[in-house]
């Protein structure tokens, strides 16, 4: 349930594009993986995920920067 709320919140963000971010939530820990195009997008994704009810911790160690705008094959 929390993962779908995070997906919706990320999709609703007017500034950053999160279509290549995967979300898993286990016992209140939201784990974001995939890629974004700038460090600011990572900080914003952490903020968005952390504001979702039921999320106590956000992990982004597998959320990568893709500066060339080309993906590594991962998507939702």
Give domain status of residue 3, yes or no.
no
As to burial, measured by CB atoms within 10 angstroms (0-12 exposed, 13-18 middle, 19+ buried), residue 25 is: buried
Q: Is residue 60 part of a domain?
A: yes
Flag whether 74 is in a domain: no
How high is the pLDDT of residue 56? Answer: 97
Q: Report pLDDT digits (tens) over 2-21.
A: 999 999 999 999 999 999 99
- What are the tokens at 34? 């995939």
What is the Cα–Cα distance from 27 to 43, expressed in whole angstroms? 22
Instruction: Report pLDDT digits (tens) over 25-75.
Output: 999 999 999 999 999 999 999 999 999 999 999 999 999 998 765 544 444
Give the domain extent around 32. 20-68
In a domain, 13, yes or no: no
Report how far residue 10's alpha carbon sits from residue 59's, in angstroms, rounded to the nearest whole number.
15
Query: What total number of domains does the chain contain?
Result: 1
On whether residue 12 sits in a domain, the answer given is no
pLDDT at res. 64: 94
Residue 35 lies in a domain: yes
Distance set, CA 12 to CA 15, 26, 54, 58 (Å): 9, 23, 19, 18
The verdict on residue 8 lying in a domain is no
32 secondary structure, DSSP code? E
């Amino acid at each position: 349930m929390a993962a779908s709320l995070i997906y919706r919140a990320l999709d609703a963000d007017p500034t950053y594009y999160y279509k290549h971010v995967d979300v898993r939530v286990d016992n209140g820990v939201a784990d974001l993986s995939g890629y974004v195009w700038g460090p600011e997008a990572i900080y914003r994704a952490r903020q968005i995920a952390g504001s979702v009810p039921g999320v106590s911790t956000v992990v982004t160690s597998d959320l990568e920067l893709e500066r060339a705008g080309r993906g590594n094959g991962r998507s939702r």
